[in-house]
Structure 1
Amino acid sequence: MQAKIVAYLQDHLSEYLADLRTLTAFEAGTLHKPGVDAVQSWMAERLEAMGFTVERLAQPVLGDNLLARRQGTGGKRILLLGHADTVFPVGTAAARPMRIDGNMIHGPGVCDMKGGLLAGLYAIRALDAVGWRDYGAVHFLVVSDEEIHDRGSLPLIRQTARMSDVAFTLEAARANGDIVTARKTAVWCTVRVQGKAAHAGVEPEKGRSAILALLRHLLEIDKLNGLRPGVTVNIGRIEGGVQPNVVAEAAHAELDLRAWRNADIPVLLDAIRAQLAQPVLEGATATLEVKLDGAMPAMERTPAVAALEATTQRIAAALGFAVKGASTGGASDASFVAAEGVPVLDGLGPIGGLDHSPDEYIELDSIVPRTALLALLMAESGKE
């Protein structure tokens, strides 16, 4: 099977590149619904031609979500997860069309993640070419809003994950070829301090500076970095006061909290609340607001994920290259799959990097071996 899959992908590499040029030409920034919908229409047409039942979930403002399903003859249910949107404003695709420079393929979204979407399509095509049906079902989910914070696709991701036994996210492999086996949980919160306003020149002693109290709290909160292994606290934004001649009545800071384990976040939040209860300035009070609706769960490296990683390494070795599992503090949709208890690997697209920049790229010579890796991993994972 391996030799036939590699041969199929090599024979169809020029077709892959033509499709990549087409996909990167769509103006698919998240907020540009016509462009994102064009990507979804292109994907839907090809998935339907491959025997998938395609459900297009219309969105009134953002691009539509796409869920394609195909039944096999038995075995495990496999989820391929990707996104159609990019971060680039309208006009970027026209101004910077895809180009090939030696082994580097550049273009808006070429790495994040049009190359990965095509890896999913071509992996299935290669498996079809060798008669693969030994799986329960393949679910191919392409969401439209991965690149923004306030998202409507999360319930769909979680629901589709619950219908699956194993999942592969089609983000690019790391620049060094690593796949991703663990991601941190991320929670945003706001510390608010209420003081008392006063004239800074006439009677400053009657004021209670919310800014001063906030800074004193933050200096102590910063010491919570490393409270548990991998726990980080980033003070990302501070705002307070109205103008220099007024003692600040109110101030707030926005924090980013991360940890390798979901269980570490409540411990960290309790520590922050305990600190805010400390009297740092008489007459000033502090509160904590936690934005749990936008929290990213951790993608923890469970025994099931470790087993998937070992299978990936074995397949990669047979293909002639090495793969390692990497941990990262950044989040992805794989985290929401993991939250449903489904083993998931991330970074199954081609090798690439410099996402969201004019120099974004994937490596040409990684397309065939990495797509073969995905195909063979699907074949191995689909078995009972």
Structure 2
Amino acid sequence: MDARKLSMTLWVINLASIAGCTVSYVYLSYYLYNATGNVLLADAVLVAPMLVPILLYVAIKKVAASGSPRPIFALANAACLISAVGIFLLLPRFPIIAIAGALTIGFLDALQRVTRIVAIKRFFSGEDVKFAVPMTLTAQFIAGGLAGVMLAYFKGQTTPMIILSAVAVLFTVAGLVSLLLPDSQAIEDKESPDAPTLLKSNNLANLLKNNPLLKHYLMASIVFVSVFQGFFNISRVTLPAHQLGLNDEYVGYLQILSSLGALIGAVAFYFYNKTGRTFSATAVRLVSIASLAALCAASSGYNVASSYTAYFAYMFMWELMFFNYEANVVNACSSADMAHVATYQYAASYFGIISVTLAGGLLTQYLGLLQTALILSALYLCYMLREAYSSNSQRSSLVKD
């Protein structure tokens, strides 16, 4: 199977599986809130999938590294289907099962997210990785939009059985398409020059110590995602509803706008890499600074047009840099270590996102959204300055030696 067909196959698996998981999370949260009137319980359903990679880090790592991505995808989606049937059948009698359902599907979702990165590393050569990452992972943005459209379409007449029917089809499609993937053992292992083959240690600290380039990309990715995704979680409702005083309709518009910005950013990254060029360290810093400026401009709440335009720019540049970091991590890591590194990356990123979201929520409550944006921007600028100083020091040491 050539690279284009492989990308399309992974794209369809991602689209169907992520859409099924997202619809499940949102509906379970909505149903539990309607049944109990408890906002905290409803929020717990949405937080549960983010906690799974942290709490079950070891289990996810072992399963993702245990074999070929093909059976993992197929079995994970089959398990999602079986779990969904049990959860949605019991939901009317035991609404609290929504939390257990989110944890169960969240585990299978997290396992597939790690396996996607492993699959990209195993199935694509170092040259193709930078093209495969954005095209394969764009499915998650479309899946989020598809989930929103489905829930909006069934609004007012949604029942657990309707949702079960929808997610059952999605998980079935994902599972069946997974069987079209080749066996990874049949793929020639083409490592990037930046990915030493000797790194097969289960000790992540030793692995990163022996591969400083991977350590740099991995840590930079985790910090970047924690800050930028964390602010997105804080602002996607607060900006339209609180800062601008708009109704629910504009919350939906912002979701559409942010998804569009992210999708265009991913496509732009793909075509930029097709030219054979890559982002230099200086370019990465400049785009990050511009994204922070857009973040603060959007948070000012001057008017809808300016805030939403700035928010679109923020999302576009954020996703552009996200895919750059993701491609660099995959390219700098060996296939043998990819499952370990990807699992750690997701766990650490989710921990950072949750921390920034909670801290940012408190700051927004007491100081305001713009002040929160300024504080987060200042902290990230300090981080970039430290990284730039560290890089310059290392280069100076090499020159002296």
TM-score range, shorter chain: under 0.3
Name whichever structure is richer in strand by fraction.
1
TM-score (norm 2): 0.27
Name whichever structure is richer in helix by fraction.
2
Q: Which has the larger radius of gyration?
A: 1
